Structure formats: C-alpha cells, structure tokens
Amino acid sequence: MKLIANLSNVDHQTTLQAGVSPQQLMEAAGQQVTNIVQAHTKPGQRGILVCGPGNNGGDGFVCARQLYEAGYTQLTVIYTGTQYRNEALENLEKLLLGLPIEILPAAEKPQQALNRIGAADFIVDALFGSGLSRTIAGLEAQLVEAINARQAQAPCWVLAVDIPSGVDSESGAILGTAVQAHQTVTFAVGKPGLYLYPGKGCAGEVIVADIGIPPRLIEEEPSPYQLIEPTDARQWLPQRKPDSHKYQYGHVLVIAGSQAMPGAAVLCAEAAASCGAGLVTLASMPSVFRQVPCRAEIMRLPLPDAHELGAASVATIQEALANGRYNTIVIGPGLGRAPETLAAVQALLAHFQTLPLPVIVDADALFALAERTMALSEHFILTPHVGECARLLHRENAAVSAHLPQAAQAARERYKATVVMKSAATLVATQAQASNEPSGAASESQPLWISPTGNPGMATAGSGDVLSGVIGALAAQKQAQQQPVWQAAPLGVYLHGCAGDAAARHRTVYALRASDITRYIPEAFQAILQPPTR
C-alpha cells in the first residue's frame, strides 16, 4: 500500500480534476470520524472534541455537528485557532450559530478546557493533522498531556483524526509531545508516520478511510513509501513447481561464526535452510563446528583458520566460489572484529564485487565495511541496525534514530546497495526497479518499504542473524529462478516479522528467543499463503 506523508496536493488535484469541493472532502472526512465514534461510544456519554487551528480542526467541527444530529448531546468542542478560514471557518460557524453544543475557545478559557478533558468519556483528537511541522508547546502541549492523562487514568476512548497530534507524518518522530490514541482514522491513504516508531506506538489501530479521492490521483502523487502487505508478500514468494529439484531453489553460502560466537553462524544457516533454499553450506572454523553442531541439512565448508576468520580463509572461500555452485552469499554473523578478520572481510567484499551473486552483508561484516568505506553495487543487501547504520554513515546514533527513512536512503546512495534498516518498524530501501517488473504496489523508482510485522520479543540476541539467513535463502531462490532479487529483502523482513509474531503468540514477548523465530517460519509462510478470512 502506498503511503503519503501529506495529502494537500492530492486534495487540490481532487478539486481540480474530479470536481470534489474542499467542503465535500471535509464533510466526508468528518463523516468517517463520526462513523467510528458511533461504533465505539453511546449518545449519553460525555464527548470532548479538541480541534486545532487548521483543516484537521475543521474535520472535528463536522464530526461534532454530525454527532449532535445523531443524538449525542453531551458534547464539548474545544478549539485553539483564532483565525479560521474557508471550510474550517464555515463549519465552526455552523456550530456557533446553529447548535446548543458547548464551545470553548481554549486560549480564553484554558483551565475550563483542561477540566472538560479530565471528565471525558471519549475524546476526538482533531488538534493537528499531517501538516504539522513544528514542536507542540504551551497550551497546545497542555491539552495533549491532559488527553493522555485522562486516557491513562480512566476508561476513556481516544480517537485521533488523520494522525495523533504531535506525530510527524513522515518520520513518526514526536514533535514535543503526542496524543496516545486507541485508534487513528486517516484519510484516503496511510501516512508513513503511522507505521514508524515512535509514531506507531501512539496511533493504536489504524483505519484508512475513503473520502472520495480518486485512486488514480493517489498513485500519481510522488512518494517512495510503501507498506508491505500480505498481497505483496504472496506475489513475491519464489515459485515451487511440482517437478522441480533442489538446484532450482538456490545454494546459500553462509560465512559466519568464530570461537567466541559460534551460535550466530548456526542461527543464520538454519534459518536459511528453513526458508526454502535448496542447499545451505556453512563456511566456518573447526572450533565453530565443534562447539555448536548444525542440523543434518547444513553442509560444511571448513576454513583453515582455527578460531576466527583470517587471511588463510580468503583463498579457500574464493576457490569454493570459483566453481559457480553458489547462488547467494551471506557474510558477517558472529565473525568478530579482530584486525585480521576485518581485513579478510574487506578482501572478500572486494572479491564479491566481481561476482554476479546477491550478497547479504550483516553484523561484523558491516563493521568491516564501515572501517573501509567502499561503493558496492545493487546486488548487495546491507542489514544494519541503527548503530551499525550510524557507523556506516559516520553519524551519531541519535541522528539516525530521529530520521530513519533519510538514513536508510543515505546508506543506499552511499553504498549503491539495498539497505534493510532494522528497527522496531524495519525499513527496506530498495534500488531502482525496472518498470516492467512485477513490483506489487510499488510505483516509485526507489521505494522505501515499511514492514508492519514484528514485536518487542524479537529484540533479542541472534534475531538479526536469523533475518540475514531468511533473506539469503529467498535471494538464492530468486537468483536461481531468474526472478527480481530485490524482492527478497522486503519479503524476508515481512516473513521474519510474521515468524516472530507467531513465536510471541506461543511463547510471549518475554520468553521469545531467536531460535524460536526460525521454529515458527512455517507458520509465517502459512499466514502469507492462506491469510485469515474476515
């Protein structure tokens, strides 16, 4: 599903091209808010509508009128604007002149407004929408904090209009403070900030409501943001033909592990074997194989170095790759950061540049890459978390955390590679796609895919190692079947999150381990292949 941070241009084009007036759009938006309020509340309850200075406030005014007409008489409208214009002004005047609803100008009666919020049974947050670009402060911040305090201390249901007030619609950042909503109704199309943390944590359940904007205008509006949906994942799955054999599903070479971190290698290799790869070979040191036995399905490529990757192993790996039997390489999990290891990884990355194979670069291999910045190419997939991305870009962690989409795009541009930005809501910055590729909902040249799957239980050691194995297996199948390899990254992220969600359902977010994610990969595939019916 395409995501657009701000719909102002789409609204304008709807009026110009489709003849839908701004007043009609506001009336439709208000009606959608009203419908949701009626589904969750009763007319006898005390409702507070907090309306801001712009069109978001206008949507709230429409909702207040419609609720009153539907029998809601215990309503208070709190407004913060002083110079309303056009449709918002028209709808405020309808309230002031025509209906016996309590109307409070917050600037004139601040304490009364705060007291009303403190006694609410339900609250409609129509303070700020997706156009907010400044920090919320002063009385507006007090109103937001009062909404949150009421929501926390009593069974008071909160609905945000368009986006929770205070959430940046593009990055999901909190602009000073933000409303904590149970649900958010957003119009025509989702906003990126509703699916990226911390904004996602404020939004609750997100409802995308139709207000009469033609789908064609949404598709024509430039935006790189795409939400990965089950239909995308099903379309991207590699084919499984009845008369096929293992070599049609790719051979993954995993270069991972050290004496200090042998488990990372096994987690990565076993995840690859569980995601449909025809063959998986683990290249590692004897100490790794002695400490943590692999499952029987995993083949071994013993490396000459005793405890950690070094110069002696480079030639062995290059020789193994020369026979052309591998379809994908995964490098990095658990390798360590000894100087000789970093030098060996850097030499291997330079060699991989000459091979027409997908290469997934993770963990300690990302550290080696950051130590010696080199441009890679579109067949590389980097999988950094925030700290690793900051190192790759030579930035502070806080700067990357505050602007995840921009950081993912910057890393993609610097390294000429697909970038999987691992976070609470993982972003995938893919390379340009050919227009004739079956790219699902993606229509932009360089999409930023946001995954809705995953949970806090996945914040555990080894989860990233499993992800690199999952992506490696999917990339190997895509490569072997001559399908678009870029799809392996967003599909892998979505599938990994689905498996984590299944694991959390069975084990809770407290007891979840990385190996559980691999254990529930079959359930994740089932969720993609056979989505639940409504």
What pLDDT score was predicted for residue 439? 41
Residue 188 has pLDDT above 50, yes or no: yes
What pLDDT score was predicted for residue 442? 39
Q: What are the tens digits of pLDDT across the range 383-422?
A: 999 999 999 999 999 999 989 999 999 999 999 999 999 9
What pLDDT score was predicted for residue 339? 96
Note if the bond before 198 is cis, omega within 30 degrees.
yes
What pLDDT score was predicted for residue 295? 78
Separation between Cα atoms, residue 331 and residue 346, nearest integer Å: 11
Phi and psi, residue 186, nearest 5°: -115, 155
CA-based torsion, 237, 242, 247, 251: positive or negative: positive
Residue 298 has pLDDT above 60, yes or no: yes
Q: What are the tens digits of pLDDT across the range 82-92?
A: 999 999 999 99
What pLDDT score was predicted for residue 433? 63
Confidence of residue 532 (pLDDT cuts 50, 70, 90): low
Segment 55-71 shows an average pLDDT of: 97
Separation between Cα atoms, residue 517 and residue 501, nearest integer Å: 8
| pLDDT over 90 percentage in the chain | 91
What pLDDT score was predicted for residue 396? 96
Q: What are the tens digits of pLDDT across the range 234-276?
A: 999 999 989 999 999 999 999 999 999 999 999 999 999 999 9
- Pure H helices in 416-513: 463-480, 488-511
Q: What are the tens digits of pLDDT across the range 167-176?
A: 999 999 999 9
Query: For the sheet containing 183-187, what is the strand order?
Result: 102-105, 75-79, 47-51, 122-126, 157-161, 183-187, 205-209
Phi and psi, residue 463, nearest 5°: -60, -40
Residue 63 has pLDDT above 70, yes or no: yes
What pLDDT score was predicted for residue 533? 63
Nearest Cα residue to 501 out of 474, 534, 532, 479: 532
List all residues 6 or more positions away from 394 whose beta carbon is below 8 Å from its beta carbon. Answer: 370
Separation between Cα atoms, residue 293 and residue 288, nearest integer Å: 8
Confidence of residue 296 (pLDDT cuts 50, 70, 90): confident
What pLDDT score was predicted for residue 437? 46
Segment 160-183 shows an average pLDDT of: 97
**Mean pLDDT estimate for the chain:** 94
Separation between Cα atoms, residue 263 and residue 253, nearest integer Å: 16
Residue 228 has pLDDT above 80, yes or no: yes
Q: Is 172 left (phi over 0), alpha (psi -120 to 50) or beta?
A: left
Q: Answer for the pair 408, 415: CB distance below 8 angstroms, yes or no.
A: no
Q: What are the tens digits of pLDDT across the range 39-52?
A: 999 999 999 999 99
What pLDDT score was predicted for residue 531? 64
Q: What is the DSSP letter of 252?
A: E
What pLDDT score was predicted for residue 534? 55
Segment 224-232 shows an average pLDDT of: 96
Query: Which pair of tokens denotes residue 18?
Result: 């489709």
Q: What are the tens digits of pLDDT across the range 421-448?
A: 999 999 999 987 644 444 444 345 789 9
Q: What are the tens digits of pLDDT across the range 472-507?
A: 999 999 999 999 999 999 999 999 999 999 999 999
Residue 449 has pLDDT above 70, yes or no: yes
Record the pTM: 0.93
Segment 302-316 shows an average pLDDT of: 94
**One-letter amino acid identity for 505?**
R
Encode burial over 395-410: b for 16+ CB neighbours within 10 A, e otherwise. eeeeebbebbbebbbb
Confidence of residue 513 (pLDDT cuts 50, 70, 90): very high
Q: Is 5 helix (H, G, I), strand (E, B) or coil?
A: coil
What pLDDT score was predicted for residue 263? 96
